[in-house]
Structure 1
Amino acid sequence: MPAPTQAPPTHITPAATEPVAAPAAGFWRAFHTPHLVAGYPVTGQQVVFGLLLVFCLTPWASPPVALALGLVLAQTLGNPFLSQTKAATAKLLQYSVVGLGFGMNAHAAVQAGREGILFTVASIFGTLVLGYLAGRWLGLGRHVTHLISCGTAICGGSAIAAVGPVLHAKDEEMSVALGTVFVLNAIALFAFPPIGHALAMTQQQFGLWCAIAIHDTSSVVGAAKVYGDQALQVATTVKLARALWIIPVSIGTAMLFKQKGVKITIPYFIFGFIAAMLLNTYVPALHPLGPVLVNLAKIGLTLTLFFIGAGLSAKIVRSVGARPYVLGVLLWVVISSVSLCVILHTV
């Protein structure tokens, strides 16, 4: 009996069994794959970052636009130079602030600072007390509560960076406080100018409100720059006078938390701003150079906000958790609304 014939075996190619990558995944992967350009490995992610950076150097890039571009980059492709931009942000902001001093008059600055001193003292101490009480109510740790309160009361990330070592705060506590403040800074930069126009605030009123109610110096100057030159001068002067409170608050923190042998951070760049302002006021020969330096300072500020946005990834936002945001928003809403009402009725 003849042997039964067997059906030929069915050959399955490896390609049929391997999962096919989604087109979207392949699209994003292509941006992170390095290619040799003039002998150097370059990724599409780095090219996009470079193009956005160049755009921020042009007159079409305002501070809110630069921040928005940085945020979009952080949420999509990511920042390929995260460590470098973090290191450059603080110095770039400081140099930009000093440059703005070459566009200001000392006499006008003294007047603006005199008008803002009472608001400054009352808002700082009021915010610190409210932050302590609200932090206890929310069950937050003392260090995180104090860091967020100082950031809201004085000058955002700069205050947190100065007070953190005094507290011997842990890295995660610093990250939570900085993440909270930076998110609210981004919101304020977009929200404040439309509110100011809707309420028909004067340049003086808006500059004063920015300096008191917005955390970080970069966002204060960015929002005021959009509103007008006079608002920019008032906001910068009052905010930097406010930033000097880092020193007494750091000393008070060391005493309150019973920390010994700590080093107090002094914001020396503020004295550079004062020196630039005095030179612009009393050395007429420097007047032709003033507009050039001020323009460079504004470009530096725009780049600063792009770097800040590019460092604010979704992972950082999620890692903060709900309660620190609740504390930050509560303090921010109170100081914004109270200072707005006082300014509208007194200035």
Structure 2
Amino acid sequence: MNFFKKNGAGLLLCLLIAIPSWLLGKAVPVVGGPVFSILIGMIVTLILTDKTVFSPGINFTSKKILQTAVVFLGFGMNLTEILAKGKQSLPIILSTITTSLVIAFIMYKILHINSNSAVLVGVGSSICGGSAIAATAPVIRADDEEIAQSISVIFLFNVIAALVFPSLGAALGLTNEGFGLFAGTAINDTSSVTAAATAWDGIHASNTLEAAAIVKMTRTLAIIPITLVLAIYKSRKSKNTEGSSFSLKRAFPMFVLFFVLASVVTTIFHLPAGVTAPLKELSKFLIIMAMSAIGLNTNIVKLVRTGMKPILTGFCCWIGIAFVSLMMQHILGIW
């Protein structure tokens, strides 16, 4: 009862933003519910002059609800099926992820941008957009404005990729298989991968959507090692700066462990789509709800004023990933 008394108002506000955002995301998938919820949240917070009664629930949603969403995401991942179908793409995926993270680090050094923003843009660009940012943000203790900024950057290049890549693929003479790999490795959000592959199928009367989706799901598996490495790095850094002892148990985020367990359960017990599909949908909705809280905690004026460096970082990651994806296809003899 005390929990709802303390957090109820903020939870309800986030829910009221999340529902229309979820519906808008369904209507305009290339934009997606998380982007709508952040935008609505930022607008609402300009109107609310006093958020005192809402703050506890908003903060709970942006942290705990976000972590819960990542756990439910694991139920949509049958590890055996994904690896069996996506193993051909593994060399390309590993190359593009490495490229994005290296570029993000270089841009962090050159532009002197916030380290958390660089990590989130690098991870979001290379793995799976909003889901990767949702999983990584609590591990590196990113604040809400850093999360909102990175989501906005990823969204921008998602939309461009969904619109440009089908024509680019045709101009380059990609095969159907080649475009499926290109879309699955070089576009970071599922909705934009789907949009680009669907557009390609419509033009070429092909069936690349399934292949692109499998490649995209294979990329999502990288959430597990990336979050673990970042957790260990962050814990060791805290040890050096604060003098606290390093503990693997403390470094490993429990919600990532539950995400892995959910994936293992789905894999071992071969959970049917009738079970996993609603859990995946719940995960998406909870991410949208968490993004509404992040929007409510974000100063839109400050976000716009400080946004050019993260956008430039995202652009460089995006170009680097696309180039390496095509180059690896050429080396492997796929294209």
* 2:246 is aligned with 1:261: yes
Instruction: Give the Å deviation of 1:72.
Output: 4.4
* 2:56 is aligned with 1:69: no
Flag the structure with higher helix content: 2
Aligned equivalents of 1:58, 1:325: Cα separation in 2: 24
* 2:291 is aligned with 1:308: yes
* 2:130 is aligned with 1:130: no
| CA deviation map 1:134-158 (0-9, x unaligned) | 3332244667655654555553342
Matched length: 281
Aligned in 2, Cα 1:203/1:295: closer, same or farther, shift over 3 Å? farther
Aligned equivalents of 1:205, 1:211: Cα separation in 2: 10
> Counterpart of 2:71 in structure 1: which amino acid?
Q
Match of 1:223 among 183, 192, 199: 192
Partner of 1:50: 16
Q: Answer yes or no: is the 8 Å Cα contact 2:18–2:288 preserved in 1.
A: no
Aligned in 2, Cα 1:65/1:325: closer, same or farther, shift over 3 Å? closer
Aligned equivalents of 2:315, 2:222: Cα separation in 1: 24
SS in 1 for 2:162: helix
Aligned equivalents of 2:225, 2:150: Cα separation in 1: 19
* 2:276 is aligned with 1:293: yes
Aligned equivalents of 2:236, 2:38: Cα separation in 1: 38
Partner of 1:30: none
Partner of 1:186: 155
Aligned in 2, Cα 1:304/1:136: closer, same or farther, shift over 3 Å? closer
Aligned equivalents of 2:13, 2:231: Cα separation in 1: 42
Aligned in 2, Cα 1:298/1:343: closer, same or farther, shift over 3 Å? farther
Instruction: Give the Å deviation of 1:294.
Output: 1.0
Aligned in 2, Cα 1:254/1:92: closer, same or farther, shift over 3 Å? closer
> Counterpart of 2:154 in structure 1: which amino acid?
N
* 2:314 is aligned with 1:333: no
Pick the structure with greater CA Rg.
1
| CA deviation map 1:294-336 (0-9, x unaligned) | 1442354155236426633524623645334333332233223
Match of 1:244 among 225, 232, 238: 225
Partner of 1:89: 66
SS in 2 for 1:156: helix
Q: TM-score, normalised by structure 2?
A: 0.63
| CA deviation map 1:4-62 (0-9, x unaligned) | xxxxxxxxxxxxxxxxxxxxxxxxxxxxxxxxxxxxx999xx78963861683799556
Partner of 1:17: none
* 2:88 is aligned with 1:100: no
Aligned equivalents of 1:118, 1:93: Cα separation in 2: 26
Aligned in 2, Cα 1:222/1:255: closer, same or farther, shift over 3 Å? same
Q: Answer yes or no: is the 8 Å Cα contact 1:211–1:236 preserved in 2.
A: no
> Counterpart of 2:40 in structure 1: which amino acid?
L
> Counterpart of 2:150 in structure 1: which amino acid?
V
Aligned in 2, Cα 1:72/1:248: closer, same or farther, shift over 3 Å? closer
Instruction: Give the Å deviation of 1:207.
Output: 6.5
Partner of 1:32: none
Aligned equivalents of 1:71, 1:229: Cα separation in 2: 30
- Any gaps of 5 or more consecutive residues in structure 1? 1-40, 166-170, 215-219, 281-285
Could you say what the CA RMSD is over the residues aligned between the two structures, in angstroms? 4.4
- Any gaps of 5 or more consecutive residues in structure 2? 1-7, 49-53, 198-208
Q: TM-score, normalised by structure 1?
A: 0.61
Aligned in 2, Cα 1:86/1:125: closer, same or farther, shift over 3 Å? same
Q: Answer yes or no: is the 8 Å Cα contact 2:75–2:279 preserved in 1.
A: yes
Percentage of identical aligned residues: 12
Q: Answer yes or no: is the 8 Å Cα contact 1:224–1:232 preserved in 2.
A: yes
